[in-house]
Amino acid sequence: MISLAWAAAFILLAPAIGGLIAGIDRKVTAHMQGRVGPSIFQPFYDVGKLFEKEGAMVNETQRFYVLSYFVFAVFAGAIFFAGGNLLLVIFGLTLAEIFLVLGAYSANSPYSHVGAERELIQIMAYEPMLLLTAVGMYVVTRSFDAIDIAGFPTLLVLLLPGVFLGFVYILTIKLRKSPFDISTSHHAHQEIVKGVTTEFSGPNLGFIEVAHWYEVVLMLAFVFLFFAANWILGIIAIIIVYLLELAIDNTNARVKWQLAVKSSWTIALVLGALNIAVLYLIGRA
């Protein structure tokens, strides 16, 4: 726990950065589809408008779930940027996600119910790879602390190429991009409407959007860790990875959840576990 300043910076700046990323995302996506697209500040206008709207809800408990989702998403990110334990970050993030899912369940609505089930399936799909990412970094650096991993002198990606690819694979799920935007989507073509967020509106939905920005920044920070030895390379990596996700998003149709789970697990086993196993054996020899 070295850097409380970084944690504070995350809490204050992440929404701005996350919102901008969302804005650029929409602009680039529009260009890919041959449209002009909105201003890159559009996400801020959208969320701002959500906060002006009436706070109608299906039931009063939703307020609690949204607040908890928001608080723990921020908390998990803050632990990361303070240089804390990666496992703890992952557990915090999972806890946050569970609150979102419970909020969706609590509405007792068909669309949000299916969204909640699918969201859980998505968590089940990416969780092993996420844990293995932390484990891989530990095997190399002998520490779970973000601060130690960031301070490691060699580029982690060179030792953990499989883990990196595996992480990028599940990043698609975390960013809610096609082909894995199964529980809810940024695009309005879903047969389950807005899935897990169907029953949230007004300020509640605004909080969910902002919490998602925090999560995006946190996930991209994970990408940075693979390149932390050279921060310029790290930033370039983040940009390339994000553009890659956008390209995938725009060129793929949504798949069934079965394929999402099977492929994520296979990737975690083949790329993630195998990569770590090789390192492990080299380390022992």
Partner 1 sequence: MDSVQFLLFLILFPLISALFMLAVRRDTERAWIVKLSALAIGVVTVLLLVTQVGQGTLYFGFNAEPVSLLMFVLEMVISVIILWYAVRFRNYLVIALTLVETALIIWFESAATPAVVVKSPLFLDPFSIIMALIIGIIGSLICVYSLGYMRHFYQHHTEIPDRTNTFFIIIFVFLSAMFGLVFSNSLIWVFFFWEVTTLCSFLLIGFTRTEEATKNAFTALWMNLLGGIAFAGAIVYLTYQPAGMLGLDQVLVSGKALVLIPAALIGFAGLTKAAQMPFSSWLVGAMVAPTPVSALLHSSTMVKAGVYILVRFAPVFTGTAVGYTLAFVGGFTFLIASGIAISQTNAKRVLAYSTIANLGLVVACAGIGTYEAIWAAILLIVFHAISKSLMFLSVGTVEHRIRSREIEDMNGLIVRMPRIAAMMTIGIAGMFLAPFGMLISKWAAIQAFIDAPFGLVFVVILAFGSALTLFFWAKWMGRLLAITPDAENVEGLVDKNEWIALVSLAGLTVVTCFIFPLISAYLIEPFLLANYGTVAGLAQDNIIIMIMMLFLIVLLPLSILLPHKKARTLPPYMGGVETTHDMHFQNALGARTEMKLSNYYVGSWFGEARLAMTGICLCSVFIVLMFAAAFIGGGAFL
Query: Could you give the angle at the alpha carbon of 7 between the alpha carbons of 169 and 144, nearest 5°?
Result: 55
- Cα separation of 170 and 123, whole Å? 10
126: CB partners within 8 A, 6+ apart: 170, 173, 174, 264
* Cα dihedral: 70, 76, 78, 81 (round 10): -140
Smaller CB separation from partner 1, 20 or 88: 88
Smaller CB separation from partner 1, 23 or 128: 128
Smaller CB separation from partner 1, 26 or 174: 174
Contacts to partner 1 by CB under 8 A: 1, 54-61, 63-64, 67-68, 71-72, 75, 79, 84-85, 87-88, 91-92, 94-95, 98, 101-102, 104-113, 116-117, 120-121, 123-125, 127-128, 131-132, 135, 138-139, 193, 198-199, 265, 268-269, 273, 276-277, 280, 284
Report CA 84 to chain centroid distance, whole Å.
18
Smaller CB separation from partner 1, 39 or 59: 59
Smaller CB separation from partner 1, 253 or 284: 284
Q: How far is the CB of 229 from partner 1 (least distance, A)?
A: 23
Q: How far is the CB of 214 from partner 1 (least distance, A)?
A: 16
Q: How far is the CB of 23 from partner 1 (least distance, A)?
A: 28
Q: Provide the residue type at 95 as one letter.
A: L
98: CB partners within 8 A, 6+ apart: 123
Q: How far is the CB of 146 from partner 1 (least distance, A)?
A: 12
- Cα separation of 182 and 199, whole Å? 17
48: CB partners within 8 A, 6+ apart: none
Q: Provide the residue type at 14 as one letter.
A: A
Q: How far is the CB of 138 from partner 1 (least distance, A)?
A: 6
